[in-house]
Chains A and B, each alone.
Chain A
Amino acid sequence: MQEWLNVVLEWMDNPIIQAGAASFLAALIVAKLLSYMWLSGLAVIAAFCATVYLISDFNFDSLTIIKKIILAGLVAAILAPLFDLVSSHVRLMRCFIAIACASVVLWVFWSVLERKDWSDIVVYGSGLVAYIACLSLLLDRLTSTSVHAASSAMGLGASIGVSALLSASALLGQFGIAIAMAGAAYLLLQFVSNRLLPSGRTFTLPLSVLCGLIAPAAMILAKLPWYCLPLFLLIPLVAQIPLPENWSLRWQTVMFFILTLISSAIPVLLIMHESGVYSI
């Protein structure tokens, strides 16, 4: 029994288990179990929390940028089902979400921004606000199309995660991979069951907040090049491509899996090219 426990504990220290298998499993279980309550979108936050639990903690005594990101993700997941209830005034709601996300990004990074010159504050601040606002607007358009939303989550998570890893932060990299695993679990369930899962803002809002904060954190706190941020926006943009309506759900899943994976590789390849790891 003790030996078995030791093996499990050893597994839990493995980064692949922490960010990959554990988050995938958590997302799969939550997406399946809560699908009957229209809350399967909580798979994103479940995957993220599983990874946070294994590599960090939920102690918010010292509110660092990383802790603020975790807190913002949790709050977004709590508020998202309420936002789902507002079905009318879609555009107004989208604007509200974009403004809220912009406020959150400034709150999270203000401790670092305030030490910069005013010109840098304006450049960095407006860049971060533009990035998270665009991301939230693009993802909010996918609330009713869960294959598109799930493939965006997988592509964004993978791209941000691998880019963060290459930019010297394994922690942020693992956060990104956890989100990719949530997207992958969501896609897999839809592919296997050949049935759409409900996603809604329960899925897209935590996704917007987390991807909208993890990537800037990798840029400001680690060495992610700034041009990766607009390139990450290509992923939810590609996921908006309308596919022929007569295509089966499985075909759509495969197609979006491929499309978002290709677009997610662009920033990664550019970082690898710049760092000399890979020559284009």
Chain B
Amino acid sequence: MSRFALLLSAVFFIVNSHQVLAEPENYTLDPTHTYLHFGISHLGFSTMYGRFDQSSGRFLIDSVAKTASVKVTIEAASINTGLEKRDDHLRSPDFMNAVEFPVVTYHSTAVTFKGEYPSVIEGNLTLLGVTKPVTLTITAFKCGVNPMNKRAMCGMDAVGSMKRSDFGMTYALPGVGDELKLTIEAEGYKD
């Protein structure tokens, strides 16, 4: 009987864990675990890193049909490099122009899967009112149940790059680098 119960619970676990990604599922990004980090050359001497502290968004994933989509909105004024005076300058019209363009958005157009998990996201980034394609490569992806709050969630790490001049952000080129290295950490809870 105890063996039967063990087998039943194992089958139940396998079925349940498969169900986590069995159908199209909507996830809402957790802003406390979702950040866009960037790195940019400072006069060619070093790479300066910063991040955007506030973002929101949703993603949909169907690992059976191998489809997914993502929509993210980032608050431009939440840029944070750890130095208030520099952040003020980065918010100014010289760079982010955060008053005139308060949000940066990223909408996926196609997601490529490797096995049952997404591996590459192609999408459009809108920055300073200019929309250009930006591709992100997913370096880690995991779905499951959060052991702390027992809620179903997915998380991922992704990397990409973009040229700020493509979006009309040309101030201080070429001293302050043109290419931005993007690193994204994102987690979302199932709706």
Chain A positions near chain B (C-beta within 8 angstroms): 13, 55-57, 59, 62, 64-66, 111-112, 168-172, 217, 220-223
Residue B33 at the chain A interface, CB threshold 8 Å: no
Interface centre among B93, B99, B172, B174 (most CB of A within 10 A): B93
Residues of A within 8 A of B97 (CB): 64-66, 221
User: How far is B152's CA from A205's CA once the two chains are assembled, in angstroms?
Assistant: 64
Residues of A within 8 A of B92 (CB): 168-172, 221-223
| Given A13-B175, A221-B100: A62 in contact with B168 (beta carbons within 8 A) | yes
Beta-carbon contact of B175 and A56 below 8 Å? no
Beta-carbon contact of B93 and A65 below 8 Å? yes
Residues of B within 8 A of A62 (CB): 128-130, 168
Residues of B within 8 A of A172 (CB): 92-93
Chain B positions near chain A (C-beta within 8 angstroms): 85, 88-89, 91-94, 97, 99-101, 128-130, 168, 170-172, 174-175
Residues of A within 8 A of B93 (CB): 64-66, 169, 171-172, 217, 221-222
Q: Looking at the assembled complex, report how far the CB atom of B13 sits from the nearest CB atom of chain A, in whole angstroms.
A: 51
Residues of B within 8 A of A170 (CB): 89, 92, 94, 171-172
**What are 27 A-to-B residue pairs whose CB atoms are below 8 Å?**
A57-B170, A62-B168, A64-B100, A64-B129, A64-B168, A65-B100, A66-B97, A111-B100, A112-B99, A112-B100, A168-B91, A169-B92, A169-B94, A170-B89, A170-B92, A171-B93, A171-B94, A172-B93, A217-B93, A220-B99, A221-B92, A221-B99, A221-B100, A222-B92, A222-B93, A223-B88, A223-B92
